[in-house]
Chains A and B, each alone.
Chain A
Amino acid sequence: MVSYKYSDKGTVIHRLNPWCKLAWIAAVFVLALLFDSPIYLLLLSLSTLPVILTARVWKEWLSVMKFAFFLCLLIIVINALVSNQGSHVLYQIPVAIPIAGAPRITLEGILWGVGNSLRLLAIISAFTVLMFAIHPDDLMLAMVKAKLPYKSVMVTSLSTKFVPALIDDAQCIADAKKSRGLELDRGGRIQRVKSYASIAIPLLSNSLDRAVQVAEAMESRAFGSGQKRTFYKELKINKGDITILSFVFFSIAFGVFLHCSGQGGYQYYPVVGAVSLTASEWAMLFVLLLMVNAMPILALLKRKVPLD
């Protein structure tokens, strides 16, 4: 069983300043968008693994990835069916489908799907760290520091906090309904929608009750008192964090430079390009990924040699 909420595993990654983790996620995100080459994207996806492993969230990561793989499969299949611009035809579907015509499965179509799937995997992989390795309070403080209005940040954080309660609630209501003879998973589609609607109504009412109660409790503890709020916990940035941040930001800049100098690009249509890299390209990519991974590398080093 994987619970989809933050739990403090106490690893170096969990302990780290949230800005470092957010910067890393941003870096992976930007780089994933900059590059088109499947090799670059594959290695970028793989380069998120050290962080996942150091943060010991691989179980959670794996369960998210299962879903992501399914999504990727969908992208590859649909793209292969829909995109007909490729020139290496692998299979011509003999029957015509309305609107789409008779699809041609091409090597280019499949490769494009694979490339973009890798892009997606890299991004999703990085975002699991946001979910499972950044303390919600840290995230909230970071958002407030970034000048987002406190009330909005608080409400967002609260709504994620009550998701597990909502799931429990829904389960309980479904059980109550089944105990009253409702066959939730039987009958036609319309019947099923109706059955599930019977869960939605009490769930909604319960949630509204809950919202009023939470609001009342917050009001009683002077929430939104009009004064400028203070914060008990502060985000401390130490030298180590700054080092990591500089590496990660530099990696983004470096990525942009590589992109502008024509590296990491790739041509899918109309004819697939070669995927080979020159020795210098390999070296640059290696340096780039090393910098992106400054976080786990330095965090692990820091454990042995205190930087601050």
Chain B
Amino acid sequence: MISIRNLTFYYSGSDKPSLRDINLEIEDGEFVLLTGPSGGGKSSLCRCLNGLIPHFYGGKITGKVEVNGLDVTKHSTKELATMVGMVFQDPENQLVATDVDSELAFGLENLAFAKEVIARRVEEALDTVGIVSLRHRATSELSGGEKQRVAIASVLALYPDILVLDEPTSELDPKGAEDVLNVVERLNDELGITVILVEHRLDRVVAHSDRVIVLEKGMITADGDPRSILGDGRISQSGVGIPPIIKLAQVVKSKGNLIDNTPLTVKEGRIALAKALRHSERFASRHSEHPSLSLRAGGVAIPRPFAIAQGDNKESVIASETKQSHLKPLIEVKKLWHFYPDGFVAVKDINLKVCPGEFVAIMGRNASGKTTLVKHFNGLLKPTKGDVILDDINTREATVAELSRKVGYVFQNPNDHLFCDTVEEELAFTLNNLGVKGEEAESLIDQTLERFDLMQYRYQYPRFLSGGEKQRVALASILVAQPRIIILDEPTRGMEYRLKAELMKFLDQYRREGRAVILVTQDVEIAAEFSDRVVLLSEGKIVVDGPKREVLSRALLFSPQINRLAQALKSYGVPDDILTAEEMIEALA
């Protein structure tokens, strides 16, 4: 059991509290989902639970945190290790041994367990997490998802009562994340281990949690069961990404429709919405001479409005296609092959054109060649066979720096971009490399800072900014050069919804200025909402390339939540190529 009373915490050297006046009781066996905007105090709260705060981090702490009756300020992290297991965000930085079974033994060895006990517990942990097949593998050769499962098993071997996971899936691809979350759910279900999970992907885990706690500016702003917390729409202001299904249910409900329980999964949504549709169908047939009545009641008059909505969507897609076809492409990829020195063929015979004004999402599993492909677009990789033509320049004949005038490339980790002393210098660095100086540079910097809302950070040290702000600085440092093409490699991984939406808004604006945006992503919801064309890669080949509606609807793996719902409601006249909650709401209106 965890009991927190009046907890306030300041990191050393900070005059703003990271946690303020937290009061919380967590019962044994609960599955708690901890969420909230970045910098809200989620990680700090987690670190209080096993005494990393205050023992490892120092700082000023008041109030009381008790885990199983032990005061964490009086007991060291080492003592608490057998009660609270911590799993961290980055799979790379929490494994310390060379192979999997030594990794599992590490904690037990530190606590001086006898060899026989260690052997037994390692065996158990491997079985419980379902990674027996990995036991002799080298940790460095595992995939991200496998690494996280090893990390979970390695704390599980200490028999903790409580498992704290601080964004364990934010560095993982969807498949890896799914594997990790399945394990966590099973540990809670079958072993009754208390789970405290920090997670942005609410849509995936919310159905499994008993309780959602929202932490903002160091304070708990909501705490309760998921249906009531997410159902009433209060927390959407806090930047927590409400899963599309719940968003939809909120709107349908607000129009007076019959949805008695906030649906948390696609299945629940399907049932609730079908019920609401049946209800209004009856309603509509009874008042057939007054169809406006059913509309005003928020009920769904079927199927005419859908047909219109669908027609609209189709037209807009066609319009954008014809609009682009006569434009000269910015990027032209011709029969591109790339072989890595170890003989691995990463992309095979790719043909692709990207025109000004396009927003292209490049999707596919891990190692399907996405990053290899886009690294050709600014010359970081040169074709083994074939050509990449960028606005009349063959990338074989230009350096990356020369191509950077035309192409901006944003890496996933903003820390890889930032090294100057101030935000302003970051922007000036790029311009200086491109030979833009003096007043012209000044005005470009001013404009860009303004546009990215970074004016107030102009003279700050970029690496000390929050995650979202850093991402913005990184983006600004690229876009200040006004490249005609911008490439982003998984920029939204582990990002909270509000920041994602903000970033996409910037990109959409940029695209409208006649530039091309290319987004490498595994985030189906983002692709569905913001891109207009999706290229799906598999094993280095393009499997599908087309308007997002064609690619993402009626697909099995890469279809957004709402589309899965729409497919099931086809018989009610809901068009099955709807992708987002907004479109669904529009179709239902």
Contacts and interface: CB of A to CB of B under 8 A. Distances in A.
A6 B88 contact: no
Given A176-B417, A202-B418, A230 B115 contact: yes
A181 B107 contact: no
Interface in B400-428: 400-401, 404-405, 407-409, 411, 413, 415-419
Interface stretch (B95-103, B276-284, B441-449, B535-543): B95-103
Contacts of A236: none
B140 A213 contact: no
A233 interface: yes
Contacts of A219: 52, 55-56, 77-78
Contacts of B417: 176, 180, 202
B416 A217 contact: no
B433 A180 contact: yes
Interface residues on B, range: 35 or more
A54 interface: no
Nearest to B99: A137
B114 A230 contact: yes
A101 interface: no
Contacts of A164: 140
Given A135-B98, A178-B380, A202-B418, A230 B113 contact: yes
A172 interface: yes
Given A136-B98, A181-B401, A1 B418 contact: no
Contacts of A178: 380, 399-401, 404
Contacts of A214: 93-94, 96
B155 A218 contact: no
Contacts of B108: 230, 232
Interface in A188-217: 198, 201-202, 205-206, 209-210, 213-217
A135 B97 CA distance: 11
A145 interface: no
Q: How many of chain A's residues touch chain B, expressed as a range? A: 35 or more
B416 A172 contact: yes
B308 interface: no
Interface stretch (A88-96, A220-228, A288-296): A220-228
A183 interface: yes
A158 B93 CA distance: 11
A213 B138 contact: no
A52 B400 CA distance: 41
Among A136, A215, A221, A225, residue most surrounded by chain B Cβ atoms (within 10 Å): A221
A139 to B, nearest CB: 10
Given A202-B418, A221-B154, A232-B109, A213 B50 contact: no
Interface string A168-185: 010011011011111110
A229 B109 contact: yes
Contacts of A169: 416
A231 B116 CA distance: 11
Given A176-B417, A227-B112, A232-B118, A217 B77 contact: no
A30 interface: no
Contacts of A229: 109-110, 112
B202 interface: no
A234 interface: yes
Nearest to A139: B98
B438 interface: no
Nearest to A210: B93
Interface string B327-351: 0000000000000111000000000
B553 interface: no
Interface string B481-516: 100000000000000000000000000000000000
B185 interface: no
Contacts of A7: 138
Contacts of B99: 137
A230 B94 contact: no
A226 to B, nearest CB: 7
B140 A5 contact: yes
Nearest to B481: A181
Interface in B60-100: 77-78, 81-82, 85-86, 88, 90, 92-99
A186 B95 CA distance: 39
B119 interface: yes
Contacts of B401: 178, 181-184, 186
A1 B111 contact: no
A136 B404 CA distance: 42
A181 B436 CA distance: 11
A184 B404 CA distance: 13
A223 B110 contact: yes
A302 interface: no
Contacts of B140: 5, 161, 164
A8 interface: yes
Contacts of B52: 216, 219-220
A77 interface: no
B404 A179 contact: yes
Given A136-B98, A179-B404, A202 B419 contact: yes
A184 B92 CA distance: 28
Contacts of A223: 78, 106, 110
Contact of B138 (A8, A182, A210): A8
19 contacts: A1-B341, A137-B98, A169-B416, A175-B409, A176-B409, A178-B380, A179-B400, A179-B404, A182-B401, A182-B429, A213-B90, A216-B56, A217-B86, A219-B56, A220-B52, A221-B155, A222-B78, A222-B107, A230-B112
Given A182-B401, A228-B112, A230-B112, 18 more contacts: A169-B416, A175-B375, A178-B399, A178-B400, A178-B404, A179-B478, A180-B430, A186-B401, A202-B418, A205-B415, A205-B463, A217-B86, A217-B94, A219-B78, A220-B155, A221-B81, A223-B106, A234-B115
Interface of A: 1, 5-8, 135-137, 154, 157-158, 161, 164-165, 169, 172-173, 175-176, 178-184, 186, 198, 201-202, 205-206, 209-210, 213-234
Interface of B: 50, 52, 55-56, 77-78, 81-82, 85-86, 88, 90, 92-99, 101-102, 105-115, 118-119, 122, 138, 140, 151, 154-155, 158, 340-342, 375, 378, 380, 399-401, 404-405, 407-409, 411, 413, 415-419, 429-430, 433-434, 463, 477-478, 481
Question: What are the 3 closest A-B residue pairs judged by CB atoms, nearest first?
Answer: A181-B433, A217-B94, A232-B105
